[in-house]
Chains A and B, each alone.
Chain A
C-alpha cells in the first residue's frame, strides 16, 4: 500500500487509488468536475491540478489521472496549481449565463461551490457568449445547455453506465452539445441519473421544477420501497408534499444510481385520495375512538369464536418493526393465523430465500464484480431495475451473461438469450443441478451444456432468479444448484429477486406459519371472521383477486392500516391511516437479507395546494396540520397492544426473539446496512410446493408479467409515472401470430377465464410457441392478470373474428 505526502501530511492508501481520492482521505478536497467515483477518472475538466514535487511524475498534473505511488510529495497550495485551478474555472465560466437566481440547482450546485473553491471571481472574458438551444427531453428532465461546463458526466452516466443510446455528445470544440439527435423523451429507464450526475443545472428534475430551494427541502436517507433490492434513496419533502427523490449511496446495493421508478415514483404518498383520517364503518372518527372500536371488536370476536377467528396479514412493504408487532399482537391474542404476503408464490419464495440463501446471497456489488452471470426466470428491467444496471457493469468488463426466460428480457447490455417456455424451466433447473440434460430438446441441451461449462469455469459466478416464473420450488432448486456448483475455493452466489422491499424480512417472520391460501380458505369456510391488513391489499395483491374479494365479503370485520387508497382500505370496516415510507422510520430487509435503515424525511400532512377559490387566507384555524393524522404503523400496533414502545425497544425485542436479526438496533442511517445472521439450523423444508404452472398442452397459455411503471402497487399510485405506463398489449410469438393471421400492432381481443378485453398485439419473434404474455397494468383491464400465479388459458382473436 503506497504512502505519499500531500501538503505535508502523510497518508497510506490502497493500491490503485488516485491522488485526488488520496487527498480526500486527508480532508483535502480539491475542486473537480469530471471525476466521479462511479464513472472513474477521464482527465477532461483539468481542474484537479496539483503540483507533484517528488516522485515518479513531476510538475502540474491532474490528480485524478495519477495513481498514488510511494514517495510522492505533492502540494496543492502552491501558486502554480492554484493559478491553474483558477484559470480552469474561469474558462468554464466564460459563457455561463449567471442565472443562479432562476436555476433549480442553486444552493446544491457543484459549479457554485467549485467556482468559489477554485478562486475565480470576476469574469475577465468580454467576448460574445456561446449560447445553445435546449431540447424537450420529456416529462422528467429539463434541459438548460447554456449552463453546461462540458464535464461529460451526463453522457458517461447515460451511455456508459446506464447503457442508454438515445443521448450523447454532439458537435466539437467549444460547441459540444449534450443531448438527443432530436427532441423527445429520454428512453432509458435510468434517465433521471443525469440529474444527479450533472454538477450544475443543465439537467434538472422537471417534476421538481421551481418548487423548492435546496435549503428549504427536508431530506433524509431512506430506502426505496418499489422493489426488493433496497436501493438507497433520498426523498425530499416540503409543504407536506414529497417533492422529489434523488439517489443515495450504498455501495453494496445500488451504488450511486437509481432507476426512474424510484426517482419519479415517490408521489404515492401525495395521492389526492389517500385516506388520512381514521374511519369506523364508513364514518370518519378520532384516533381514540377508532382504536377503542378495533380493540373492542376483536376482543368480542375472540370471545365469541375463539382466537382462530381473527387473522392477520402483514406486508412486504411494511417495516420489519410493524410486521413484527403485528406478529406479536396475533400471538398475544392466541391467533396463529398470520401471513405476511397475500401472494402465495411470493410468500413461499421469500420464505425459501430467507431460510436457505445464507452466505451464498449475492449483493448487487457481488453481481457487478462477478465473472459469469446466469439469469433464469427473471426480468430485471421490470421486476428490479437496478439489477439490470448491476448486470450491465459486469458485462461492460467483458463478463458473459446468459438469460433463460420465455419473456423478451430487455436489458441495457448484450446477453445470450435462450427463450424457453415456462414449463421447461423446472427441467432446466434440474439439468443445472446435475440432473438429466436430455429431457430438454437437443438445441437447448447443447446451449445449456455451454452455459454449464462457463458456470464451472468461472471464478465468481452468480445465478439470478425470480419468483414469478420459477415459483418457490424453482427458487429452492436454484439455491440447490448454487450449492452444488460451489466449492470451498469457489463460491457460487445467488440473487433471488423477491416481491417487495421487506419480503425477506417477512420470510423470516413467517417461518412455518400458514400462508394466505389457508387464511383465504378459513374466511371462505366462515371460520375466520376478522382480518387485519397491515399496509397490504389482498384484493389486488393475492394471486386470485376474485376469490379474495369473495372471501373478504364474508368477513364480519375487515380492518386496514395503510397510507394508500387501496381497495381493502376502501372496503374496510375499520381504517387506521399510517405514514408513508418517506414519513416514517424503520427497517427493510432487502432480497439478499441486508437490513437497511430508513429514516423519516418529513411529517405527514395534506400537501398545500393553491385553491384560489376565495378561501385563502383560511378563515378557520386548526390546532393541527391538516391531514397530519397518519401515524407510523408500528406506533399504532404498539398502542393496540397497550404498549408504549420506541423503535429502539421494538428492535431490541426483535433481536431477542429472532437471533438472526442481530445488530438490528445498532444500524445507522445512510450506511451499507448489515446482512442478517444466517439462520441455523435452517427451517425444515416447506411442504412440496408445485411450480406455478401446469401442463404444456392445450390452448394458448397466457402469463402475466411485471411492468416497469404499471404493475407495482406503489407505482400505481404515483401519478408522475403515468407517461411510462404502456397502453394494454399482449405479446405473441411470430409463428402463433402467423397461424392466427394476426400482425404486429393490430388491435385484438384477448379472451380468458377473466373475461374479454381489447388490446394491441405485439409480435415478439422468439417467444416460445403456445405462449402469450400480458403486462399487469394497474388501472386497466389487465389489472386482474397477476404475475406469478401460473398461466391463464386464453384465446387471441382478431376483432373481425370476435364479431362473428
Chain B
C-alpha cells in the first residue's frame, strides 16, 4: 500500500480527535491568518478558482465558479451554509473528517466566509452524526475562545458567527434547496431553480452552500497555494486529494485519502485489500448509490470527475461500493431503489410514485414472476423519470437503474426465463 501525501487526514489517528492544540501544531489556522492579513477577499476567491477545486458533495461543480455567482461585494444579509447531511449510501467521508480533525471545517468556513463577505454561517449536519456534532461544538467554542471566530477575527475587521444545526434526518435534506427549506423550519421539499441560492437562499437572502470536504480543502489551498493543490492530483484535469470511502465486498472497506484520479482497480486492490473471500469483481458504484455501475472493463478508469463521466458514470461523493461475482444485480438495484423511493420527499409524481412502480417491477422480476415485456416497461419508466422530476433525487436513482438495463440486461432476462433469481442459493 503506497503512502500518498495526507492533507485532510494529516491529523487522523485511530480513536482520537484532533482539537485546537494539535490542529495548530500541524499548521492549522495559518491559512486563515494568511487570508485575513495578506489577501483581499477577491484574491482568496481567485486562488480557490485557480486551484480547480470541484465540489465534493456529489455534483462536482467547480467551487470557484459557484463562488463567482455569489454577490460577495454586495452588502447585506448573506449566509454561508455547510452541507453536512451526508446521507448518500456508502458515503462516510465527512464523518471521518469531523471525527479526526473538525477544525478543518471551521477554518475552511471562516476563510470562505471572508472570501464571500458573509457574516453568518450554519453547519447543517446529519442527525446521526452526534459525535461529529459534539466535536464541532467543541471546535467552534475553541475557535471563539482563541479569537479565530466571532467578532473581529484575529483583530481584523472581519466578523463571522457560526452555528450548528442538527438535521431531522431525511436524504432529501442533502439537496441544497431542500436543505434551505429545512433550515427555515418548513418541509424539506426542494425549491424551484432559478432563483439559485446565491440569489435567494435562506429567508430569501443570498446563500452559498458547500460540502464539508469542499470547505475543509479551502484553507489548505490558501495556506499552500493553488499550484500545490493542483499537483496533488494524479490526473491532469483533476486537482487535490479525494477521500474515497470503500464499502461492499472488500477485504478492507475503509476510508482513504488518495490523489484524485487514482484508478478504480488500484483503489480496490491496493487499498481495499481486493474483493473479499477471493471472489471476482463484478461491479462497483464509483460515487455513491446514485451513480451508474462500472464493471470489470472500467477497472483502469481514474477516479476523477471527467474520466468517470467518460466511462458512463459519475465520481459523485467518491464512495466506492464493490459487488462481487455472487451479487444479483437486480436485487442490488432493487435495494438501492427502495432507498430512493423511501427517501422521496413526495413532492413530484415521477419520483413519489414512479420509484415505487419500479420497485414493483423489480420485485416481480427478482421473484421470478417477470415477463419479457417488463424490460421494456422498465426502460419506459426510466425514460420518463430521468430528467423529468423536480429535483435530482430520482435522477440519481435512475443512475444505477439505467446501467442495470444497459450492462446487465442478460441477467434480467435470465431471471425472467428461469422464473427465479439465478444467483439466489
- Collect the chain A residues with CB atoms within 8 Å of residue B347's CB: 44, 152
Chain A nearest CB, measured from B384 CB (Å): 4
B81 to chain A, nearest CB (A): 22
**Residue B387 CB within 8 A of the other chain:** yes
Nearest residue, chain B, Cβ from A95: B353
Q: Of A102-110, A122-130, A694-702, A741-749, which binds chain B? A: A122-130
B348 pairs with A46, CB closer than 8 A: yes
B84 in the interface (beta carbon within 8 A): no
| Distance A46 CA – B377 CA, assembled complex (angstroms) | 19
Contact B384 A87 (CB under 8 A): yes
Residue B187 is within 8 A (CB to CB) of chain A in the complex: yes
Q: What is the minimal beta-carbon distance from A208 to any residue of chain B, in angstroms?
A: 29
Task: List, in ascending order, chain A residues with CB within 8 A of B357's CB.
Answer: 90-91, 94, 125
For A46, the chain B residues whose CB sits under 8 A away are 348-350, 388-390
User: Which residue from chain A places its CB closest to the CB of B383 in the assembled complex?
Assistant: A83
Question: Is there an interface contact between B350 and A88, defined as CB atoms closer than 8 Å?
Answer: yes
Contact A175 B388 (CB under 8 A): no
Q: Which residues of A contact B380 (CB under 8 A)?
A: 83, 87
- Give the distance in Å from the alpha carbon of A65 to the alpha carbon of B344 in the complex: 21
B341 surroundings in chain A (CB, below 8 A): 173-174
A124 and B384 contact, Cβ closer than 8 Å, known pairs A43-B390, A91-B357, A173-B345: no
A44 to B356, CA, bound (A): 17
Residues of B within 8 A of A14 (CB): none
Q: Which of A153-179 contact B (CB under 8 A)?
A: 169, 171-176
A45-B353 in contact (CB<8A): no
Contact mask A108-145 → B, CB, 8 Å, 1/0? 00000000000000001111000000000000000000
Which A residues from 504 to 525 make CB contacts under 8 A with B? none
Q: Does A667 contact B (CB under 8 A)?
A: no
Among B170, B344, B353, the one with the most A-chain Cβ atoms within 10 Å of its Cβ is: B353
Cβ of B76 under 8 Å from chain A: no
Is A59 among interface residues, defined by CB-CB distance under 8 A? yes
For the complex, give the distance between the alpha carbons of A84 and B354 in Å: 12
Interface range on chain A: under 10, 10 to 19, 20 to 34, or 35 or more?
A: 20 to 34
Contacts known (A46-B350, A91-B353, A124-B377); A59 close to B387, Cβ less than 8 A? yes
B352 lies within 8 A of A176 (CB): yes
B61 on the interface (CB 8 Å rule)? no
Does B205 have its Cβ within 8 Å of any Cβ on chain A?
A: no
How far is it, in angstroms, between the C-alpha of A326 and the C-alpha of B350 when the chains are bound?
63
**Across the interface, which residues of B come within 8 angstroms of A88, CB to CB?**
349-350, 384
User: A46-B389, A49-B388, A87-B384 are contacts. A127–B360 as well, Cβ < 8 Å?
Assistant: yes
B192 engages A174 (CB within 8 Å): no
Query: Of residues B352, B364, B380, which shows the largest number of chain A Cβ atoms within 10 Å of its Cβ?
Result: B352
Does B360 lie within 8 Å of A45, measured CB to CB? no
Known: A87-B381, A174-B344. A169 touches B187 (CB 8 A): yes
- A47 contacts the other chain (CB 8 A): yes
- Chain B facing A: main interface SS: helix
Q: Is A60 an interface residue (CB 8 A)?
A: yes
**Residue pair B346, A92 in contact (C-beta under 8 Å):** no
The answer, yes or no, to whether A204 is at the interface (CB within 8 Å) is no
Interface status of B342 (Cβ within 8 A of chain A): yes
1/0 per residue A54-68: CB within 8 Å of B?
Answer: 000001100001000
Question: Counting CB contacts under 8 A, is A345 at the interface?
Answer: no
**Interface status of A543 (Cβ within 8 A of chain B):** no
CA distance in complex: A152, B172 (Å): 18
Interface membership of A42, Cβ < 8 A: yes
| B42 on the A face (CB < 8 A) | no
Pair A43/B388 contact, Cβ less than 8 Å: no
A residues less than 8 Å from B353 (CB atoms): 91-92, 94, 174
Name B187-210 residues within 8 Å CB distance of A.
187, 192
The one of B343, B346, B363, B387 that contacts A150, using a Cβ cutoff of 8 Å: B346
Please indicate the chain B residues that have their CB under 8 angstroms from the CB of A90 in the complex.
357
Contact residues in A for B377 (Cβ distance below 8 Å): 124
Neighbouring A residues of B170 by C-beta, 8 Å: 172
Query: What B residues does A94 contact at CB under 8 A?
Result: 353, 356-357
| Bound Cα distance A17, B118 (Å) | 36
A606 CB to closest chain B CB, in angstroms?
48
From 369 to 401 in chain B, residues with beta carbon under 8 angstroms from any chain A beta carbon are 377, 380-381, 383-384, 387-390
**Residues in B neighbouring A174, C-beta threshold 8 A:** 341, 344, 346, 352-353, 356
A412 to chain B, nearest CB (A): 18
Q: Give Cα A152 to B349, complex, Å.
A: 11
Would you give the shortest CB distance from B365 to chain A, in whole angstroms? Answer: 13
Q: How far is the CA of A94 from the CA of B341 in the complex (A)?
A: 15
From residue B376, how far is it (CB to closest CB) to chain A in Å?
11
- Answer whether A84 and B384 are a contact pair too, CB < 8 Å, given A44-B349, A172-B346, A173-B345: yes
Shortest distance between the CB of B368 and any CB in chain A (Å): 15
Write the chain B residue with the least CB distance to A152: B347
A91–B384 alpha-carbon span in the complex (Å): 11
Judge whether A42 and B349 touch: CB under 8 Å.
Answer: no
Tell me the nearest residue of chain B to A65, going by C-beta. B192
Bound-complex Cα distance A91 to B389 (A): 13
User: Considering the chains assembled together, what is the distance between the CA atoms of A126 and B357 in angstroms?
Assistant: 9
Question: A residues within 8 A CB of B356?
Answer: 94, 127, 174
Residues of B within 8 A of A44 (CB): 347-349, 390
Closest B residue by C-beta to A398: B204
Residues on A with beta carbons closer than 8 Å to the beta carbon of B359:
127
A176 in contact with B346 (CB, 8 Å): yes
Smallest CB separation, B93 vs chain A (Å)? 26
Q: Which residues of B contact A150 (CB under 8 A)?
A: 346, 349, 352
| Chain B 383-422 interface mask (CB, 8 Å, partner A; 1/0) | 1100111100000000000000000000000000000000
Known A49-B388, A92-B349: A173·B192 in contact at CB below 8 Å: no
Nearest neighbor of B356 in chain A, beta-carbon distance: A174
CB-based nearest A residue for B373: A124
Q: Roughly how many angstroms separate A740 CA and B184 CA in the complex, as a whole number?
A: 45
Chain A 649-668 per-residue mask, 1 if CB under 8 angstroms from chain B, else 0: 00000000000000000000
| Chain B residue at minimal CB-CB distance from A92 | B349
Do A125 and B360 touch across chains, with their CB atoms under 8 A apart? yes
Chain A residue with the shortest CB-CB distance to B350? A46
| Minimum CB–CB distance for B416 against chain A, Å | 16
* Chain A residues whose C-beta falls within 8 Å of the C-beta of B363 in the assembled complex: 127
Q: Are A172 and B345 in contact (CB under 8 A)?
A: yes
Closest CB-CB distance, A431 to chain B, in whole Å?
Answer: 35
Most buried by A among B345, B349, B363, B364: B349
Task: With both chains docked as a complex, state the minimum distance between the C-beta of B397 and any C-beta of chain A, in angstroms.
Answer: 12
A802 to B419, CA, bound (A): 87
Scoring A residues 442 to 466 as 1 if CB is less than 8 Å from chain B, else 0, what string do you get? 0000000000000000000000000
**A171 CA / B342 CA spacing, docked (Å):** 11
Tell whether, in the assembled complex, residue B192 and residue A60 are in contact, meaning their CB atoms are under 8 Å apart.
Answer: no
Which B residues are CB-close (under 8 A) to A87? 350, 354, 380-381, 384
Specify the chain B residue showing the minimal Cβ separation from A90. B357
Which chain B residues in 308-354 approach chain A with CB under 8 Å?
A: 341-350, 352-354
Closest to B364 in A: A126
Chain B residues, Cβ within 8 Å of A59 = 387
Instruction: Please indicate the chain A residues that have their CB under 8 angstroms from the CB of B352 in the complex.
Output: 91, 150, 173-174, 176
List of B residues within 8 angstroms of A125 by Cβ: 357, 360
Q: Which residues of B contact A171 (CB under 8 A)?
A: 346
Interface digits, B285-312 against A, CB 8 Å rule (1 contact, 0 not)? Answer: 0000000000000000000000000000
- Bound-state Cα–Cα, A436 to B302, Å: 81
Interface residues of A in 735-792 (CB under 8 A from B): none
Name the A residues within 8 Å of B187 (CB-CB).
Answer: 169
Q: List 14 A-B contacts (CB under 8 A).
A: A43-B192, A43-B390, A46-B388, A47-B349, A60-B388, A83-B384, A87-B380, A126-B364, A127-B356, A127-B360, A172-B170, A172-B346, A173-B343, A175-B346
11 other A-B residue contacts (CB within 8 Å) besides A83-B383, A87-B381: A44-B349, A46-B349, A83-B380, A91-B349, A94-B357, A124-B377, A126-B360, A127-B359, A173-B352, A175-B346, A176-B352
Top 10 A-B pairs ranked by shortest CB distance?
A91-B353, A176-B346, A127-B360, A87-B384, A173-B344, A46-B349, A172-B346, A91-B349, A88-B349, A173-B346
